[in-house]
Amino acid sequence: MISKDRMIMFATAGTVTAVASFAAIISYSHIFDLGIQHGQNGTAGRLLPLSVDGLILAASLVMLYVARAKLSTPWLARLMLWLGVGATVAANIGYGAAYGLVGMIVS
């Protein structure tokens, strides 16, 4: 029998995973469309969103590793995380800019 605390933990993990998946799919499509609109065709257009999100993932994994090892976080990992987040936010805002302020906020 699974305890109530474990059930809450699994439900929370499932919810976070679902929301993160939705956000990743939307962000991918925004960056892909923006790349296509600005001349990134074919493979480049498809890989551009993955390079931005991959940067965030790689930096996050480095930060998780050093936190578990009780080491200090490398400045480059922090920088790459912020650059990746900045790039994805900028791309999503750029995608929504055609629809005004509300479009930028929604994107």
pLDDT at 2: 80
Q: Answer whether residue 1 shows pLDDT above 80.
A: no
CA distance 97 to 105: 9
CA distance 51 to 43: 12
Contact between residue 93 and residue 104 where contact means Cβ atoms under 8 Å apart: yes
pLDDT at 80: 96
Contact between residue 56 and residue 85 where contact means Cβ atoms under 8 Å apart: yes
pTM of the prediction? 0.79
Per-residue pLDDT tens over the stretch 54-74: 999 999 999 999 999 999 999
pLDDT at 62: 97
